[in-house]
Amino acid sequence: MTPPPRLRVAAYVIRRVPAPALLVFDHAGMPEAGTQIPAGGIRPGEPPERAVVRETAEETGLTATVVRRLAVEEKPRPDTGLPRRTTFFLLHAPDEAPDSWLHQVGGEDGDAGLTFACRFVPLPLDGPLADGQDAWLASADPAWATHGAPSAPAAANHS
What pLDDT score was predicted for residue 155? 41
Residue 58's alpha-carbon distances to 39, 106, 112, in angstroms, are 10, 5, 8
* pLDDT digits 0-9 by tens, 48-70: 999 999 999 999 999 999 999 99
The domains of the chain are located at: 6-150
User: How much is the pTM?
Assistant: 0.90
Percentages helix, strand, coil for the chain (3-state, rounded to 5) are: 15, 35, 50
* pLDDT digits 0-9 by tens, 69-112: 999 999 998 888 899 999 999 999 998 899 999 999 877 777 88
CA proximity to 138, closest of 114, 158, 120: 158
What pLDDT score was predicted for residue 101? 97
6-150: CATH topology: Nucleoside Triphosphate Pyrophosphohydrolase (3.90.79)
